[in-house]
Structure 1
Amino acid sequence: MLKALEYFIIGADHSLFQAKRVAQRACALYSYRSCTWKDARGMRRRLIACMALALALSALQNAPHSQAQSNKPFSLPFNTPPGPTTWLLSQQFGNTVGAFNYGRYWYAGGQNLHFGLDFWAPCGTPVVAIADGIVDQVDNLSFGLEPHNLTLFHRDLGYTSVYGHLNAKPSLMRGQPVRRGEVIATVGDPDRTCQSRPHLHLEIRSRDYRISYNPVLLIDADWETLASIGYHHFGGFVKDLYHPNRWQSAYDQPDVDFNERPLNDFLLSYPPLARNAPPPLTLPNFNAPPLGEGYATMRRLTRPGCCALPFWAPDSSAVYYYDGADGALATRYAVSIQAESAPQPIGEAPHRYYSPDGLWEVLQIDGRTRVVNRATGEWREIATGGAFPQFSPNSARLLWHRHPADNIPGGIPPLTEVWVANVDGSGRDLLGTQQGGAVYWLDETRLLAVEPVGRTQTFNLALWDIRTRQKMPLTQVKNLRGLQVAPGGAIILFYAPFQDDPTRSGVYGMLTKEGAQPVLLPFFGSYRWRDSKTILYLRYGADANPMLNLNGGQMLLASYDVTTGEQRILTDPTQPFRIANDDWHVSPDGRHVVFWSADDSALWLISLP
């Protein structure tokens, strides 16, 4: 490490991606990102690391965005653009939700972090070399990455690329040269079925394979757009509530050392483990005020660098988020959207989940679930088996699912219990069981049950009547993703890529009533409900393309009325923005949007016209 830094400082190639790499490696030695020197071994180390960091930051500050992009030496592993018929990004590198939940099963040798990128694609999708190189390993199963894998050494760059979960053994020989963009393999499935988890796992490692580097810093791609759709249980990053701003961006993840201890054994996190997380919130039926003329306005709410994973106050008056010093329990802040004012502390972690009417909250203390009356402070414990319950749309009832074990993708889903109770915890009742999957509130008497079909990516959707305990089949969806329930529960929204008929791949809306059929919508990208009949979604690029379109991550906000089919661009096309990690949230009253900016890592407010 020291020799590498010395060589860099005294005259090695000062390209931008190397500067970034050296700065990150330097900080990784001393309490990653902060360089507090708690493991310092002498002034010489400190001086070298500081010089490297200063040089890297100088390079970053003086390089325009286009230069930063052009200095990334690798390209994407596909020769087709992303989309619902080709491929999508499904998991980032590092401190991901997937790694937090399943790292001890899948990534234990890599500090429990996800030490590559995952790209979701059908089996047989061609995979191409990300740079010129020579074949180093073919089907070396010491890497795992079954059923087949391949590694390429890029001598001029000093890195090795690793391609895993391939469909067949690559027909390449060790030492054989390959060119950037040359087809080297096809996408496979680690479960060998092509129905369970087909995807490409891509890594960039050191020559000796001991260190895995963040591919986002090395591959020239529009990561903001790619991250805006494709995630499913794995994407996004987990917040350590004792280090609330660490490892929250795709760009600040730590290198993975395969000889070091796990890094994500968090004492307190947000969101919680998937097996304990509440069902998604469904708001009561409502129609937001009609949109006015002109474009939405935008303003920054927080300082640069703060803060990922915001959430709304139940009455839409403020945005809440976590912030604080490393090592101390995070403080929960509120910043008003009514006037430009400084954020105010309103409490500490752990996280609370609020009822739609704002009268109740749920939290856990020492693993015990409490429902608290926010007006009186009175609380009651509910036996939920460690699970967080979710409030019904009218805030009168609670719903939770109890998983007896982790629902590991590719495995046999555990028999999951579905419970309901009154909001004060009384009337606790086991409604029934299902094999894994999820449940959602539709209204006060109906649930939506989503259950996988065996070890496949096909899901059965059913309407579940709480009063009669009966389920009525609704539909079956292959490759179901991103399901969201409209306020009031009359309509659901989801996307289903990679259909047998490519023209049927895309975003769908569907009524939650007997005999309804899914309706393909005229856009594909990140979406949220605004109210019971209006969707907000992202349009991409200078031409405001309603389909996924790589153009530097430039985004606009648009609306779609499911009753009329009317579409409208809501933000000024001359002022596009970039959202990090698909981290954007509509206020409960449908008047505002808060997002985490990829440009300054601050929270920004969009007030709709």
Structure 2
Amino acid sequence: MEEGIYLQLLRFLKLFFIPSLLAVGSSLFFPSFIKTAVLKAQSPSSERPFILPFAGEAGPSTWLLAQPYGNTVGAFRQRHTTYAGSGGIHFGVDLAAPCGTPVIAMADGVVFAVDTLRFGSAPHNLMIDHPNLGYATFYGHLLEKPSTKPGQFVKAGDVVALSGDPAETCFGRPHLHFEIRDLAHVRKYNPVTLVQADWDNMALAGAFSQAFQYDLNEPRKWQYLDGQPEASAGGPLLNEFANPWPPDYPANTRQITPLQSDLTARCALPSRPVASTPTSLDPSRQENATPSSLRMLTTGGCCTQPFWSPDARHILFIDRPSPARPAAIWAVSADSPEAGPYLFSEYIGFYTSDLSYRIVLQGKTTFIEELACPAGPARKRWSVPAGGQLVTISPGRARMAWQISNENLPAERRTAEIWVANLDGSEAHIVAKLARGSVLGWASDEVLIVSGRENLGAREQVLWALSLPDGNRLELARSDRLRGESISPKGTWLVYSILLSQERDQNGVWLVRTDGSQRRQLPKTLFGSYRWRDDYRLLVIPLRPTATFHEMWEFDAQNGTARALTNVETTPFKVTNNDWVVAPDGHSIVFVSALDHNLWLLALPE
């Protein structure tokens, strides 16, 4: 183990593990925690014999992780089509890169096949066998036929191909798809466990299909980058779940819960011991992040994709703690996590941010439910003319919007109809038809933020603020590679990334006011993962490809200043799979830890 990694790991254990061990009151966490942390830090080459297929570090102008291996939501939705031939999961890794990026051999080996399209990943591909390792590597969606010949020996790091685009346009979906197979070229393995790379760092930016699909019968199954199943060419579907979440489209028809008469009783949260809030969790008393800013919330590798209750007192997540307990929304108290998780709501669904409305999809019918309490039983329910599509509700709960497009077509050939209606479903009408279009969200009840292209042949994606009263569209941003759009809580600002653009000086993170009056680019050093803290402050975890721990920064959109909120010397933390969320009051975040796969709370200084 490198000395720097060892010292940082030791510092983490001294500062956080021993105190949390005492708080939890059990020594059972020690062996698994140490083992996980050491394996993550060491990544020994004997266990990870491959290098990445691109030389140089990931970044906004070089290459980025696009889709990891495994049971991603995107793969699940295409398990009967694109991914049916290998178990229904994404059986490789996608790295986004400009066309023509040199592809290197991941280990010493012998070329087995060139442009053998029965292996897939057109327009060109390459298979290299590694007999000494017992594996083969596959490289797909190449720009041109590789010049290598079957039987040719290659060394690790040799340039063997150029990356391309399955759409063959170089502005559609340019990326490299690579796989690790057995020497029979049938079994497919998770590259995360075999390639020397820090995957949690790579996951901070660029991914377009990163979350993993839930099997609600076993919600903790296959939820981590390093915990995905093997696949086999021609094998059965691994993810034909009886109870998936998110649901298929059209959603499986399920019995809708009848409206309840006794709403008060069903809205009462279970009584929990309430501990006084420790000083370390009171951001108003902190001038700088300190070791006590971190607090373990769950144990046993629980859970992923957390979110907050509107009052910022409970951290919520989907789980089924045991076969005897229901798959539901469970919670842990931010103030007294030692009390353990408890059932928060039986209703898994799509919610507004304040948990006051729930969108229910039943076949090709969309229902909206007004709730009696956050994520609770429905007080009212009505259908809306969205045809089983998910809708987004405006901040004042006056309107809703949705998009309709032909999902059987490749993304580069889709035209979306953008629909708007009143919340009760009345006055539904099309407000725009956009090539490769989508609804991003609401800036206000009167302004909808949308994305699209001027036509299907256009190279650039455009972000518009669409005024509903007059139908005018205000252009907010334009680039050939827009990603990561997010609207600030009150709709004043829009953040987005430009990635891998030919105009390299434009690559990075940008902010624009939704009225178009102001625009800023964040410093290049702050490229990475971001979330809004409030309407003008953006939290950023910078992408540092070789960093042992992560840092939290804050950028002020109003005055353009940045400041560090944490220091790895005193607050070493690491997020796995970019899975973190900001509390509604902005005082803290919750993240899934790369070191133990548990939920942790990080209090933030004001």
Deviation of 1:518 after TM superposition, in Å, equals 5.6
State the SS of the aligned residue for 1:84: coil
> Hey, what does 1:20 align to over in structure 2?
none
> Partner letter of residue 359 of structure 2?
V
State the SS of the aligned residue for 2:531: strand
Cα deviation digits, residues 317-346 of structure 1 (max 9, x gap): 211111114697512111111233322102
Alignment of 1:524 onto 2:527: yes
Deviation of 1:78 after TM superposition, in Å, equals 1.0
Deviation of 1:379 after TM superposition, in Å, equals 1.7
Q: Distance in 1 between matches of 2:119 and 2:41?
A: 35
> Hey, what does 2:74 align to over in structure 1?
98
Alignment of 1:554 onto 2:555: no
Between 524-533 and 400-409, report the one with greater CA deviation.
Answer: 400-409
> Hey, what does 1:607 align to over in structure 2?
603
Between 296-305 and 98-107, report the one with greater CA deviation.
Answer: 98-107
Between 205-214 and 473-482, report the one with greater CA deviation.
Answer: 473-482
Q: Distance in 2 between matches of 1:408 and 1:291?
A: 54
Q: Distance in 2 between matches of 1:512 and 1:479?
A: 20
> Hey, what does 1:323 align to over in structure 2?
319
Cα deviation digits, residues 155-206 of structure 1 (max 9, x gap): 1001010000111111111111100011111101112111111110000001
> Hey, what does 2:155 align to over in structure 1?
179
- Contact preservation (8 Å) 1:315, 1:588: yes
> Hey, what does 2:245 align to over in structure 1?
270
Q: Distance in 2 between matches of 1:492 and 1:136?
A: 48
> Hey, what does 2:443 align to over in structure 1?
442
**Aligned partner of 1:250 among 222, 225, 238:** 225
- Contact preservation (8 Å) 2:576, 2:593: yes
> Hey, what does 2:23 align to over in structure 1?
none
Between 122-131 and 318-327, report the one with greater CA deviation.
Answer: 318-327
Alignment of 1:363 onto 2:360: yes
Q: Compared with structure 1, are the counterparts of its residues 85 and 361 closer, same or farther at alpha carbon in structure 2 (3 Å cutoff)?
A: same
Deviation of 1:150 after TM superposition, in Å, equals 0.6
Q: Compared with structure 1, are the counterparts of its residues 457 and 389 closer, same or farther at alpha carbon in structure 2 (3 Å cutoff)?
A: same
> Hey, what does 1:583 align to over in structure 2?
579
Matches within 5 A, 1:153-302: 153-232=129-208, 234-272=209-247, 292-295=286-289, 297-302=293-298
**Aligned partner of 1:485 among 474, 484, 487:** 487
Q: Compared with structure 1, are the counterparts of its residues 327 and 403 closer, same or farther at alpha carbon in structure 2 (3 Å cutoff)?
A: farther
Q: Distance in 2 between matches of 1:313 and 1:510?
A: 29
> Partner letter of residue 186 of structure 2?
R
- Contact preservation (8 Å) 1:191, 1:410: no
Alignment of 1:474 onto 2:476: yes
Deviation of 1:552 after TM superposition, in Å, equals 4.7
Deviation of 1:515 after TM superposition, in Å, equals 6.0
**Aligned partner of 1:148 among 124, 140, 145:** 124
- Contact preservation (8 Å) 2:172, 2:412: no
Q: Compared with structure 1, are the counterparts of its residues 369 and 455 closer, same or farther at alpha carbon in structure 2 (3 Å cutoff)?
A: farther
> Partner letter of residue 476 of structure 1?
R
- Contact preservation (8 Å) 2:416, 2:438: no
Deviation of 1:274 after TM superposition, in Å, equals 8.2
State the SS of the aligned residue for 2:241: coil
Any stretches of 5+ residues in structure 2 without a counterpart? Answer: 1-31, 252-282
> Hey, what does 1:533 align to over in structure 2?
536
Figure out how many residues of one structure are paired with residues of the other and give that number: 530
Alignment of 1:348 onto 2:346: yes
> Partner letter of residue 588 of structure 1?
P
State the SS of the aligned residue for 2:75: helix
- Contact preservation (8 Å) 1:474, 1:516: no
Q: Distance in 1 between matches of 2:407 and 2:214?
A: 20
- Contact preservation (8 Å) 2:110, 2:151: yes
Q: Compared with structure 1, are the counterparts of its residues 66 and 608 closer, same or farther at alpha carbon in structure 2 (3 Å cutoff)?
A: closer
Deviation of 1:83 after TM superposition, in Å, equals 0.4
- Contact preservation (8 Å) 2:369, 2:378: no
Matches within 5 A, 1:381-460: 381-383=382-384, 384-394=386-396, 396-406=397-407, 408-422=409-423, 424-425=424-425, 428-439=428-439, 440-452=441-453, 453-454=455-456, 458-460=460-462
Q: Distance in 2 between matches of 1:264 and 1:327?
A: 23
> Hey, what does 1:51 align to over in structure 2?
none
Deviation of 1:354 after TM superposition, in Å, equals 3.0
State the SS of the aligned residue for 2:202: helix
Q: Compared with structure 1, are the counterparts of its residues 65 and 382 closer, same or farther at alpha carbon in structure 2 (3 Å cutoff)?
A: closer
State the SS of the aligned residue for 1:435: strand
> Hey, what does 1:463 align to over in structure 2?
465
Q: Distance in 2 between matches of 1:269 and 1:62?
A: 31
Deviation of 1:477 after TM superposition, in Å, equals 1.9
State the SS of the aligned residue for 1:216: helix
Alignment of 1:312 onto 2:314: no
Any stretches of 5+ residues in structure 1 without a counterpart? Answer: 1-56, 277-288, 540-547
Deviation of 1:106 after TM superposition, in Å, equals 1.7
Deviation of 1:290 after TM superposition, in Å, equals 7.8
- Contact preservation (8 Å) 1:527, 1:538: yes
- Contact preservation (8 Å) 1:244, 1:326: no
- Contact preservation (8 Å) 1:533, 1:561: yes
Q: CA RMSD in A?
A: 2.7
Q: Distance in 2 between matches of 1:320 and 1:473?
A: 37
- Contact preservation (8 Å) 1:559, 1:568: yes
Q: Distance in 2 between matches of 1:484 and 1:313?
A: 20
Q: Distance in 2 between matches of 1:421 and 1:66?
A: 52
Q: Distance in 1 between matches of 2:34 and 2:492?
A: 53
State the SS of the aligned residue for 1:70: coil
> Hey, what does 1:89 align to over in structure 2?
65
Q: Compared with structure 1, are the counterparts of its residues 586 and 378 closer, same or farther at alpha carbon in structure 2 (3 Å cutoff)?
A: same
Deviation of 1:602 after TM superposition, in Å, equals 0.6
> Hey, what does 1:566 align to over in structure 2?
561
Between 382-391 and 593-602, report the one with greater CA deviation.
Answer: 382-391
> Partner letter of residue 243 of structure 1?
E
Alignment of 1:134 onto 2:131: no
Q: Distance in 2 between matches of 1:66 and 1:347?
A: 37
Q: Distance in 2 between matches of 1:568 and 1:373?
A: 40
Between 176-185 and 561-570, report the one with greater CA deviation.
Answer: 561-570
% identical equivalent positions: 35
Q: Distance in 1 between matches of 2:307 and 2:457?
A: 34
Q: Compared with structure 1, are the counterparts of its residues 482 and 129 closer, same or farther at alpha carbon in structure 2 (3 Å cutoff)?
A: same
Deviation of 1:397 after TM superposition, in Å, equals 2.5
- Contact preservation (8 Å) 1:401, 1:418: yes
Structure-1-length-normalised TM-score: 0.81
> Partner letter of residue 327 of structure 2?
A
> Partner letter of residue 144 of structure 2?
A
> Partner letter of residue 203 of structure 2?
A
Q: Distance in 2 between matches of 1:237 and 1:432?
A: 32
Alignment of 1:333 onto 2:327: no
- Contact preservation (8 Å) 2:460, 2:478: yes
Q: Distance in 1 between matches of 2:224 and 2:567?
A: 26
Deviation of 1:70 after TM superposition, in Å, equals 2.7
Q: Distance in 2 between matches of 1:162 and 1:178?
A: 14
